[in-house]
Amino acid sequence: MTIDAPTSPNSPQDDRYEVFVRTFAHFEGDLRRFVRSLLPNWTDVDDVMQQTAVVLWRKFDQYDPETHFMKWACVVARFEALAYRRKMARDRLVFREDVLELMADEGIEEMDQRDAEHAALATCLQAVPETQRHFLTLAHTRGVNVKELAEEAGSTAAAFYMRLTRLRQQLMKCVESKLGQGHHHA
């Protein structure tokens, strides 16, 4: 990660702020994936991420640098997601509190495993032939509706889904085999 630091002399407070921002930026993607696994709606994820960022900064004094920042952040995010969940009426898709807790706890427990999965997935995706990757990424672009896409391409939605499912399954298999190899030295 290379983010240029300003060279002007900083107060201790500024330094602390900078350390926080750098650390947070580093784990933002992972944390966002974690929160997304608890809340099926992007708007909710954005809100909880913002609130989590604010709380993490406020409590940064209490953070013990000996422990893993990501774990600490996940515990905070779990709490924020639950609080958010409680405030919200169940008028859109949100998990029940007990389900949300289960998912959060498992997510925190299996964090290392999930990091490994994410890395394996990145590798596997790169191995997918370019045209198929185009297809996959197109189908996963936010705001792109697979049914409309199928219609535009003159194909049936069912055929599109089948192809998508096949490609997804290939990727899953690839991830599993990659993780299988890695287990020897894990």
Partner 1 sequence: MSPAERNQLIDDLIDQDISEADFLRLEADLSVDPIARAAYYERLQLSLALAEVAAVRPEREAPLPASSRRALVWLAMAALWLAFIGVTSVWFWPRQRAGLAGVESTANGHAALVTQIDAVWSGMAAPLIDGALLPPGMIHLESGLAQIELFSGVRLVVEGEAKFEILSSMEMRLARGRLRAHVPEAAHGFRIHTSEGEIVDLGTEFAVDAAGERAELHVLDGEVEWHPKAAGMLRLVGGEALGLAPGNDPTQMPADDSRFVGLSEINERQKATQETRRKAWLQFSEGLRRDPRLIAAYRMDVPNPGERLVPNLAASGMVKPGAGAIVAAKRVEGRWGQTEGALDFSPAGSRVRVNIPGRHSSLTLLCWVKINSLDRLYNSLFLTDGHEVGAPHWQIMNDGRLFFSVKRSDGHGTTAGGQDKYNFYSPPFWTPLLSGRWILLGAVYDVEAKTVTHFLNGSPLASEAIPEEFLVENVTIGNASIANWSEPAYRRDAEFAVRNLNGSMDEFLLYSAALSAAEIAEIFNQSRP
Measure the CA–CA gap between 23 and 61, rounded to whole angstroms.
Answer: 14
| Strands, E assignment, the chain | none
CB of 77 to partner 1, least distance (A): 15
> What sign has the CA pseudo-torsion 1, 46, 63, 19?
positive
Q: 3-state class of 126 per DSSP?
A: helix
DSSP label at residue 183: G
- With respect to partner 1, which residue has the nearer C-beta, 67 or 141? 141
Binding site for partner 1 (CB under 8 A): 1-3, 21-22, 24-26, 28-29, 33, 36-37, 40-43, 46-47, 50, 53-54, 57, 93, 95-96, 98-99, 102-103, 106-107, 114, 117-118, 121-122, 125-126, 130-142, 144, 146, 149, 152-155, 163, 168, 171-172, 175
Token match 């974690």: residue? 34
Q: φ, ψ for residue 20 (rounded to 5)?
A: -60, -50
Shortest distance (Å) from residue 48 CB to partner 1: 11
- Between 75 and 138, name the residue whose CB sits nearer to partner 1: 138
Give the shortest CB-74-to-partner 1 separation in angstroms. Answer: 14
